[in-house]
Structure 1
Amino acid sequence: MLKMSSGVPSRNVYEEFNPKLDAYYFKIGSYGLISFHGRNYTIKKRMSSADKATLLSDSSFYRISSNFYVNLDKITHIENQALYFKDKISGDKCIPVSRRTQEQVRRMIIKLNHIAI
């Protein structure tokens, strides 16, 4: 179902959730429960082993700790030992990371998108 916002159709993220398009980052919990964090929401979903394996093999997601993955496509900038996700509506969200992780993420973004961030 599409909702109209300012004359532009928008998806209902809860009904048509797509991790690659909607999630900034996710955390893997026990028993297949994954918490996806986006612009102004958290969606918890159970995933089969096959779906989870597909998600983890997607090059858009980069593991920054044992159970924590960020969506490289959604990072807008990296500075002050933090990864930033910016949205026009809700503003910035940031995740603090170590300097080493910050550089690893920067290299992956450059490798995938061929741009400097």
Structure 2
Amino acid sequence: MSGINRSITPDSRLSLIDRHLPNTPQVQRLLKREGRAHVFNDLETLRRVTEAIISGGKRTGIDDEDDDYERYGLYFSEPIGYIIRADGSQIPLYYGEIKIVKTTGEYHAIPRTSPRRTS
């Protein structure tokens, strides 16, 4: 079965969205603090990726009792975003993930290189 088949709601914290969009103060802070940021190409791409994952994404990883999130993801044939580094270099990203808080159903989308690895 694919897609997300339960009630979820977008996370209302704009900072979670803005940290994955280019040229935002949140991305600039991530570049200073961590030296890189994972960003979508633009807001429309974020919306398109979110809709695609909700309708056809696959649940990723193993159920981990210590993890407070459910994750669903999907690979795309075209880059949906990129990793930007503090030096300005960029690496294209083809994988999108929705991270859902198990207790509240709130979610946000993240561009990634691949599904999250579990230990």
Q: TM-score range by the shorter chain?
A: under 0.3
Larger Rg: 1
TM-score (norm 2): 0.24
TM-score (norm 1): 0.24
Higher strand share: 1
